[in-house]
Amino acid sequence: MSGVRTAAVVVAAADAPEAVKQAADVVCAGQDDHLAINAAIAGLPANGGRVHLTGGSYAIGAVAGTFGGVIIDRSNVLLTGEGSATRLRLQ
């Protein structure tokens, strides 16, 4: 499909360098980071898009009724990170 663009949202960890945080669309607080990540996913348009987690640590809490704290409940959503520099930890 030529000309179709998807949205991208950059989420920075609380312990990311200041320059990374300033360039990000969302900056996590270091506690309950799954809430900010889920809000970024929910904010993508209907045709989907990408949520990119910068390097750093993200505190992921449980969400009742799910197997984890980060919820992707529709197609065409890509959650990316920076390899081993992006760490998800259970809080």
At 4 the pLDDT is 61
CA–CA distance, 81 with 11 (Å, rounded to integer)? 9
String of DSSP letters for 15-38: TS-HHHHHH-SEE--SSSHHHHHH
Q: What is the pLDDT along the chain (91 residues), one digit of tens a residue?
A: 455 667 899 999 999 999 999 999 999 999 999 999 999 999 999 999 999 999 999 999 988 888 779 999 999 999 999 999 999 999 8
Q: What percent of the chain has pLDDT over 90?
A: 81
pTM of the model: 0.91
